[in-house]
A and B are shown apart, each in its own frame.
Chain A
């Protein structure tokens, strides 16, 4: 039951990238991943993808704390881009700082906030949510 064509992971932590990919695969949700290690890389990559109109990710999992361009800066840039397709975006962070939760509410783009570690259950719930809302 592959419900998601493509997931974009924006995170600088290779262990998390490794683990989250495995969880998605194990849950049989998705096998196509695009990985960016910081916000800037992601903006560059996504600009091209969106321009070409091919393989636009359905889901973006965005980390907050990253070098060069962090999650918030990415969001500020990304908000200005026009995308033909609906992209679901989740913030994924170890942060449990209420300031971050509060800030997340200010972005319409953000569907929800996921606190690491991410378990299989989290992923399955997330996908269910996405398919229900479609």
Chain B
């Protein structure tokens, strides 16, 4: 290099003709290389056209040494060029440095500045220099450096644990989270074999996948895997491994990513436990239902039979205060068992098949049951149900539901007025909403809203109020994927809205 430059400058020095200078300027321009020269005797500085152009100064600009040095960016670059230049002057040392300048137009540029001291009689008389604009090159380099750093910090700070693993399983590089998941320092993990971190029981999960990836049968795999932390505790991870190959498809290394799923594992375990508990409780409930439906019924049935026989065979034994009370107690017991049975039946049955039922037919049937009560009370019944509406229901449940709400509407009428019951139905999305509206006593919902569909809850001092109807009804509606709503005002009336699934014809 030096020889080439020396030649160039010798030519320039030897021939001061303008033509040669412009020739050199052309060469310099095309290379983006300028030259400069400091005559130490006169302290005169000469800049070539290219050097001036890099500095972005006028063609006739000619600086002194101080001004020339001032172009270098204040701070370390200006300090450095000062030292380098002084060394060249005083000690005859060459220099070659990459430095930052601020041009006359205030642009920052990277330059390569080379200085050659010229000796005459062992004394430096001149410094010849080369000046090259390397901004573009430097910027490209810096950009690469920046990108590399960006990738490095991204990996380092990624929310997952990441590691580069060699083909033999040794850790080549790893990020912060990989270390912190496992409780080790980076130093401790570098170059260790990744399978040493595995939970002993999970150590055989990986090798087959690794083999398949090396054999090019696949490029990645994912699995759940336990690792042992430094403190001996277990961490559940979701591990993803992919293989990196070179252009010739030769395997280079693996990228392993781990996500800590210990928490969700724990939650899953809890859910599983709850499911198990629910299952066993359900079994117990079914057993209980069986006890109610069979054993208790047997006993109460026996009591009923014995009482009947007593009355027949030894009538004199029944003519006292006790017998009627015992008899009543036994009847109540049987009735309660019967009720419990119905409830248990709905709740423990497998999901029943829903059939398509004509709502108007069922409503008319249910009303038929109450013919006597309707005549008795002069009740006015208004039905507004399209005869094409079919609902999906268990027929027995649909019967029971309609009977219950209609019976309530008649039963809880106001003392002094004729009951008016409006029944209508409308389609809402996939449901049929059945409204049963009465002008009866009403229910104080402020007081009873939460327990209106509860077991053995009654809201009126009616002799027939058993507190079971609404509970069973609600259970039956729920069992058919439906729902029920209530609106009521004391002394104004009650409207029950029943939603049942709609059967499209």
> Which chain A residues have a beta carbon within 8 Å of chain B's beta carbons?
13, 15-16, 19-20, 22-23, 26, 65, 93-97, 116-120
Contacts and interface: CB of A to CB of B under 8 A. Distances in A.
Contacts of A96: 293, 297, 341
Contacts of B306: 15, 19
Contact of A95 (B294, B300, B302, B309): B294
A117 B304 contact: yes
B305 A19 contact: yes
A99 to B, nearest CB: 10
Contact of B309 (A23, A65, A94): A23
Contact of A120 (B294, B300, B312, B341): B312
Contacts of B293: 94-97
A119 B308 contact: yes
A116 B312 contact: no
B313 interface: yes
Given A65-B294, A94-B294, A94-B297, A22 B309 contact: yes
B313 A26 contact: yes
B192 interface: no
A13 B294 CA distance: 12
B428 to A, nearest CB: 32
Interface in B29-52: none
Interface of B: 293-295, 297-298, 300-302, 304-306, 308-309, 312-313, 341
Contacts of B297: 94-96, 116
Contacts, number: 54
A94 B341 CA distance: 11
Contact of A15 (B294, B295, B302, B313): B302
A23 B298 contact: no
A23 B300 CA distance: 17
Contact of B302 (A97, A117, A120): A117
Contacts of A23: 305, 308-309
A96 B300 CA distance: 14
Contacts of A65: 294
A16 B305 contact: yes
Contacts of A116: 297-298, 301-302, 305
A120 B313 CA distance: 12
A15 B301 CA distance: 10
The 4 closest A-B pairs by CB, nearest first: A117-B301, A94-B297, A19-B305, A116-B301
Nearest to B349: A98
A65 to B, nearest CB: 6
A125 to B, nearest CB: 15
A120 B309 CA distance: 9
Given A16-B301, A23-B308, 18 more contacts: A13-B298, A15-B306, A16-B298, A19-B302, A19-B305, A22-B309, A23-B305, A26-B313, A93-B294, A94-B294, A94-B298, A95-B297, A96-B293, A116-B297, A117-B300, A117-B302, A118-B305, A120-B312
A102 to B, nearest CB: 13
A94 B305 contact: no
A105 B297 CA distance: 23
30 contacts: A13-B302, A15-B305, A15-B306, A16-B298, A16-B301, A16-B305, A19-B302, A19-B305, A19-B306, A20-B305, A23-B305, A23-B308, A26-B312, A94-B293, A94-B295, A94-B297, A94-B298, A94-B301, A95-B294, A96-B341, A116-B297, A116-B298, A116-B301, A116-B305, A117-B302, A117-B305, A117-B308, A119-B305, A119-B308, A120-B308
A77 to B, nearest CB: 22
Contacts of A93: 294
B313 A22 contact: yes
A65 B308 CA distance: 24
Nearest to B338: A96
B31 to A, nearest CB: 100
Contacts of A95: 293-294, 297
B291 to A, nearest CB: 11
Contacts of A20: 305
Contacts of B305: 15-16, 19-20, 23, 116-119
Nearest to A93: B294
Nearest to B304: A117
Nearest to B302: A15
A15 B293 CA distance: 18
A19 B294 contact: no
A14 to B, nearest CB: 10
Nearest to A19: B305
A67 to B, nearest CB: 13
A97 B300 CA distance: 17
Q: Pick the most buried of A65, A95, A116, A118: most chain B CB atoms within 10 A of its CB.
A: A116
